[in-house]
Amino acid sequence: MTVETMSQAAQTARTALPKIKTSLPGPNAKRIIADDERLISPSYTRSYPLVVKRGRGAIIEDVDGNEFLDFSAGIAVTSTGHCHPHVVAAIREQAGELIHMSGTDFFYKSMTELSERLSKVAPMAGPHKFYFGNSGTEAIECALKIARYHTKRQAVIAFYGAFHGRTMGSLSLTASKPQQRRRFAPLVPGVTHVPFPYTYRFGEGKSEREYGLACAKFIEERLFKTTVPPEEIAAIFVEPIQGEGGYVPAPAEFLRELRRICDEHGIMLVADEVQSGAGRTGKWWAIEHTGVEPDVVCMAKGIASGMPLGITMTRASVMDWVPGSHASTFGGNPVAIAAALATMDVIEREGMRNAAAQGERMKQRMSGWVTKHAKVGDVRGKGLMLAVEIVKDKQSKTPAPTERDRIVQLAFENGLLLLGCGETSIRLSPALIVTQEQCDYALDVLEKCIAQV
Ligand SMILES: Cc1ncc(COP(=O)(O)O)c(C=O)c1O
């Protein structure tokens, strides 16, 4: 089937809106949650009792037949919507032919094919090289190791509020919530965290541009001149839009300054596009909105519509390590790659354009909430990576995590799936193929829930 006919089939699923038929959680959901409590690691953070059965487009059906409008997309993963027919067909076809043969030891065409396609949409000039893993954290681990290997330096800079993953290397870069690090020390040494330009909360009267420049200046004027000599720094890791930290876009001036600092001192600039990439902001990579060219791009989440895939893309000159330096048994699994190739078709054909258009419309409406609703302190984001920051009151900007959680819970009860982010924000990250009707509906529900709290 062509992408065109697939899209028509998907269209029907996409026009759907939520239908709640039972009390929540329903009886089947209750049983599974009880089993889960007995068997599953309590480290997971479940926001509400949703037990998923199947998904289509932007709709999730639970085990009791309730249908929800999904504005979380499995944490910004199902970029083409749940079970997009074009992606499902590609997965089925590949699964019937070859499921695994380890790209670590052997060769297969789809790995180079996907690399060629990603190279064409890279945010930095080519040639490029690609490393294949299975997740966001692995894409970051690879970047951390290659940065040290390539530069022969040990130190790394990351930012407060950053989330780069949960394995020991990426966790050392993560500085989002204390619970993510508590009792796991010692982490990888050599990481220094510095302020990220989260202007609304920490900018103290400065514009985004001014605070962005101040944060970059801190690196040069304080860090380099006091504790970390620049010639010892391998890389700066930055999310062009902080995800878990609160959906906070980095001002363009800040990223341009990071690029200049990196160029002056032979430091690598690593863009963590695990959440912000794959078309979500209306461009392939969020950093493209600023014109800044990174040396390394880490991607995962939306790149394969839910199949586990993490990719580290570098300027070719950076990947100068030798056989045996780094690899992964499952990394670049043929089925995940087939899903990624099909995902790229859908993103290029309609996803990116739609993300830009729907995101712009939603942001316009949501921006009005800052004056309309006492508890909305800030609205920010790009494309379909949007956030509302909930506060006790606008003057003090006191974080209101309890109220935020209540809003997310109320939205669930009304059939809308949302997730929190940062200390006190709510993120909207639907599939890139979400319809205008679904966006309007979601904002109606969210606004009603905000007004209720
Ligand atoms: C920006 C960013 N980097 C890295 C990660 C880690 O990805 P994963 O959970 O696939 O390991 C995440 C996950 O939320 C992320 O948002």
Q: In this predicted model, what pLDDT tens digit does every residue of 271-316 receive, in sequence order?
A: 999 999 999 999 999 999 999 999 999 999 999 999 999 999 999 9
pLDDT in tens, 22-38: 999 999 999 999 999 99
Question: Given its phi and psi angles, is residue 236 left (phi above 0), alpha (psi -120 to 50 degrees) or beta?
Answer: beta
Residue 323: pLDDT over 80: yes
**CA gap 99, 2 in Å, rounded:** 23
Residues of the chain with pLDDT > 70, as a percent, come to 97
Q: Is the CB of 18 under 6 A from ligand 1?
A: no
Residue 9: pLDDT over 50: no
Most ligand 1 atoms within 8 A of CB, residue of 44, 45, 78, 164 to mutate = 164
Q: Quickly count helices (H) and strands (E) in the chain.
A: 16, 17
Look at ligand 1, atom 16, and give the residue with the nearest C-alpha: 275
Contact yes or no for 305/271 (Cβ under 8 A): no
User: Within a domain: residue 25?
Assistant: yes
pLDDT in tens, 141-192: 999 999 999 999 999 999 999 999 999 999 999 999 999 999 999 999 999 9
Q: Is the CB of 447 under 6 A from ligand 1?
A: no
Neighbours of 379 (CB within 10 A): 21
Q: Is the CB of 274 under 6 A from ligand 1?
A: yes
Q: Is the CB of 244 under 6 A from ligand 1?
A: yes
Q: 236 with 378, same domain? A: no
User: Within a domain: residue 5?
Assistant: no
Interval between CA 103 and ligand 1 midpoint (Å) = 23
Look at ligand 1, atom 10, and give the residue with the nearest C-alpha: 136
Structural domain harbouring 305: 102-332
Across the chain, mean pLDDT equals 96
Interval between CA 226 and ligand 1 midpoint (Å) = 31
Look at ligand 1, atom 7, and give the residue with the nearest C-alpha: 136
Interval between CA 330 and ligand 1 midpoint (Å) = 18
pLDDT in tens, 369-398: 999 999 999 999 999 999 999 999 999 999
Counting the structural domains of the chain, the total is 2
Q: Is the CB of 300 under 6 A from ligand 1?
A: yes
Q: 73 with 29, same domain? A: yes
Q: 39 with 163, same domain? A: no
Residue 168: the pLDDT is 98
Interval between CA 407 and ligand 1 midpoint (Å) = 24
User: Within a domain: residue 411?
Assistant: yes
User: Within a domain: residue 122?
Assistant: yes
Look at ligand 1, atom 3, and give the residue with the nearest C-alpha: 164
Interval between CA 274 and ligand 1 midpoint (Å) = 6
Tell me how far apart the terminal alpha carbons of the chain are, to the nearest angstrom. Answer: 47
**CA gap 15, 63 in Å, rounded:** 21
Q: Is the CB of 135 under 6 A from ligand 1?
A: yes
Reported confidence tier of residue 343, pLDDT bands at 50, 70, 90: very high
Q: 138 with 246, same domain? A: yes
Residue 1: pLDDT over 50: no
Q: Is the CB of 62 under 6 A from ligand 1?
A: no
Q: Which two tokens stand for residue 332?
A: 């670049």
Interval between CA 251 and ligand 1 midpoint (Å) = 21
Reported confidence tier of residue 11, pLDDT bands at 50, 70, 90: low
Q: 64 with 181, same domain? A: no
Q: Residue 318's domain is classified under what CATH number?
A: 3.40.640.10
Q: What is the dihedral of CA 285, 286, 290, 295, to 10 degrees?
A: -50
Residue 4: the pLDDT is 45
Phi, psi of 168 (to 5 degrees): -60, -40
The average pLDDT across 328-351 equals: 97
Reported confidence tier of residue 16, pLDDT bands at 50, 70, 90: confident
User: Within a domain: residue 4?
Assistant: no
The average pLDDT across 229-255 equals: 98
Q: 114 with 171, same domain? A: yes
Residue 8: the pLDDT is 52
Reported confidence tier of residue 15, pLDDT bands at 50, 70, 90: low
Q: Is the CB of 354 under 6 A from ligand 1?
A: no
Q: Is the CB of 242 under 6 A from ligand 1?
A: no
Considering the entire predicted model, what is its pTM? 0.96
